[in-house]
Amino acid sequence: MKLHDLLGDAAGRDPEIAAVDVSGLAVDSRAVRPGDLFFALSGAKTDGARFIAAAIAAGAIAVAGGSPPGTALSVPYVELPNPRLALAMAAARFYPRQPATIAAVTGTSGKTSVAAFTRQIWQKLGHSSASIGTVGLVSDKRTVYGSLTTPDPIALHRQIDEITQDGVTHLAFEASSHGLDQYRLDGVRVSAGGFTNLSRDHMDYHPDLAHYLNAKLRLFRDLVPPGGAAVISADHECSADVMAAAQARDLRLMTVGTHGDGAGAGIRLVAAAIDGFAQQLQLQHCGRMYTIRLPLVGAFQVENALVAAGLAIGTGSDPQAVFEALETLEGAKGRLELVGEHNGAPIFIDYAHKPDALAKALQALRPYAARKLVVVFGAGGDRDTGKRPLMGAIAAAEADRVIVTDDNPRSEDPAAIRAAILAAAPGAREIGDRAEAIKVAIGELQPGDALVIAGKGHEVGQIIGGTTLHFSDHEAVADALAARAS
Ligand SMILES: CC(=O)N[C@H]1[C@@H](OP(=O)(O)OP(=O)(O)OC[C@H]2O[C@@H](n3ccc(=O)[nH]c3=O)[C@H](O)[C@@H]2O)O[C@H](CO)[C@@H](O)[C@@H]1O[C@H](C)C(=O)N[C@@H](C)C(=O)N[C@H](CCC(=O)O)C(=O)O
Ligand SMILES: Nc1ncnc2c1ncn2[C@@H]1O[C@H](COP(=O)(O)OP(=O)(O)OP(=O)(O)O)[C@@H](O)[C@H]1O
Ligand SMILES: N[C@H](CCC[C@H](N)C(=O)O)C(=O)O
Ligand SMILES: [Mg+2]
């Protein structure tokens, strides 16, 4: 593809430069292949401009970025006002195929669940569908493990192009605040945007909550085009701001939840009642009532299911069929997932790794703990340190027995992370080894108890220092149960 086709007029007036033939895109000098266009991006840790020489040595045919380097280069340099945005738009042109229907969801919690639910609803309605997010790419054709919630633009656009070639017509994906802030998903033709909720997260990246919310609002301000659907959970303090952003852009507003517009295009939750490990729901949409059984535990899963239903309806699916499909939803792996029981006490694995999610998970399980509600959790290293005491206090307040263990310590001292949580969790016990903590918690379960192991959900590794060791909460629970059975 020609440089001009990728970068438009930014490629400049020199016809020789505009006609440079580019065979691939790269943002990391270590991944450059001969013929690639290298984007030198200024980042959180370093500046890609420092690696221009390395990229050219590896075969980069041209370089694009911010201010040009002081020294002359042996290949053309294209100066861009917003290099990250230009990269995403170039990736969209390089990988041009996209499913006809694409929904993106943002919010502090629930994105992975909403993306999985939307994919399942579409699948049930007979569409070939896929989801992309924290748990990777999932479609009926392929499953690819991912490491970021919103992949970098090159990986994202390549995956979208590949699944379209596979025949996928419907895609739901997660828009993280990092992804929105760094223009990772620009160029994706989003037909509908979803918003779940906002609470404290990523305060190591965003200077304050307003910056964090603004990053999320980019989905409605810049990405969903006028006329597209905006499905917004209406039950939160921030909901009005999100609705205002959607309305300012002439999006089709669909509010969902107890304050949802059930008389109109939204979905109102009229009533909810626990029914074993499921919930009976009464819903209203366009003035019509629907009664359904949602086979999931946790009030928050109702919010996620309604945002997913809204995204499906907002992109043209039949409401009746969508509500019927909710009755067959399966939770995303490691999201308040019932994985076993001991002594009659249910054992759940959950991905709560931030304060609000931990509170919601514990509140959701309270009805299942006639006797003691037990939680095993920790906090990740190299992430917002402020959330540690908040999570400690929440665990102490909401659970009856608290075991503080390790999550992914990364480069930090695991004992110091635990100490920060324990300082705010009077009465909590400390067992650093996560497998041991899980074993002890299971061993102590009595009839009437309920246990939740929080923080790592679907993860299959534990990052200690620079190494990732194989670790899975699912396997640790299975091992602990097997050891007790033998
Ligand atoms: C803090 C952050 O978000 N960083 C992301 C960002 O990297 P960056 O540009 O800031 O990286 P940098 O290390 O400063 O390097 C600057 C540039 O130099 C280049 N470089 C660097 C070294 C070298 O030898 N050669 C070279 O060319 C790098 O490729 C980069 O382009 O842009 C990269 C490409 O898109 C991302 O991979 C990277 O994600 C890192 C790995 C990360 O850990 N991100 C996490 C925090 C994240 O994004 N999380 C969110 C939210 C999760 C949630 O929902 O909770 C997610 O979407 O996953
Ligand atoms: N709607 C919700 N409201 C509050 N908490 C929720 C909600 N949905 C999920 N949670 C909690 O957050 C955890 C993560 O859920 P999920 O993976 O669906 O969200 P996410 O936004 O994708 O999170 P992440 O940004 O970490 O990938 C769940 O395990 C649960 O504890
Ligand atoms: N996307 C989140 C996941 C956190 C998961 C938790 N297990 C941890 O390691 O802190 C992050 O990278 O901050
Ligand atoms: Mg996610």
Ligand 3 site residues, Cβ closer than 6 angstroms: 149, 353, 380, 383, 407-408, 455-456, 459
Domain co-membership, 394 together with 365: yes
Give the Å distance between the CA of 91 and the centre of ligand 1: 17
Domain co-membership, 311 together with 378: no
Within-domain flag for 109: yes
Within-domain flag for 87: no
Within-domain flag for 90: no
Give the Å distance between the CA of 54 and the centre of ligand 1: 19
The single residue listed with the structure tokens 């070639």 is: 165
User: Which pLDDT does position 209 carry in this prediction?
Assistant: 85
pLDDT at position 210 over 90: no
Give the Å distance between the CA of 380 and the centre of ligand 3: 6
User: Which pLDDT does position 351 carry in this prediction?
Assistant: 97
CA-to-CA distance for 63 and 139, rounded, in angstroms?
35
Domain co-membership, 14 together with 157: no
Domain count of the fold of the chain: 3
Residues 273-314 have pLDDT tens digits of 999 999 999 999 999 999 999 999 999 999 999 999 999 999
Where would I find the H helices in 125-176?
A: 153-166
Domain co-membership, 319 together with 342: no
| CATH number, position 387 | 3.90.190.20
Domain co-membership, 64 together with 148: no
Contacts 24+ apart (CB under 8 A), 70-77: 76/3, 76/14, 76/17, 76/20
Nearest protein CA to atom 6 of ligand 1, as residue = 43
Q: Domain boundary residue among 52, 80, 108?
A: 80
Neighbours of 368 (CB within 10 A): 20
Domain co-membership, 347 together with 431: yes
Would you state the structure tokens that stand for residue 359, as one six-digit string? 């509170």
CA-to-CA distance for 414 and 96, rounded, in angstroms?
45
Domain co-membership, 352 together with 436: yes
| CATH number, position 21 | 3.40.1390.10
- Per-residue confidence band for 199, with pLDDT thresholds at 50, 70 and 90: confident
What element of type H or E holds 473?
Answer: helix 473-485
Q: Domain boundary residue among 80, 112, 127?
A: 80
pLDDT at position 353 over 80: yes
* Domain assignment of residue 436, given as a range: 337-485
Domain co-membership, 320 together with 207: yes
Within-domain flag for 414: yes
3-state secondary structure of 108: coil
Q: Domain boundary residue among 328, 358, 383?
A: 328
Lowest-confidence segment of 200-214, 413-427, 433-447 by average pLDDT: 200-214
Give residues whose Cβ lies within 5 Å of ion ligand 4: 111-112, 134, 149
Domain co-membership, 177 together with 289: yes
| CATH number, position 287 | 3.40.1190.10
- Per-residue confidence band for 115, with pLDDT thresholds at 50, 70 and 90: very high
pTM, rounded to two decimals: 0.95
Position in ligand 3 atom list of the atom nearest CA 353: 6
Position in ligand 1 atom list of the atom nearest CA 147: 58
User: Which pLDDT does position 408 carry in this prediction?
Assistant: 98
Beta-strand ranges (E) seen in 134-237 are: 136-139, 143-144, 170-174, 192-195, 229-233
The single residue listed with the structure tokens 């059984």 is: 293
Residues 117-156 have pLDDT tens digits of 999 999 999 999 999 999 999 998 889 988 899 999 999 9
Domain co-membership, 341 together with 323: no
Q: What are the beta bridge partners of residue 41?
A: none
Residues 397-433 have pLDDT tens digits of 999 999 999 999 999 999 999 999 999 999 999 999 9
Domain co-membership, 401 together with 351: yes
Share of the chain above pLDDT 70, in %: 99
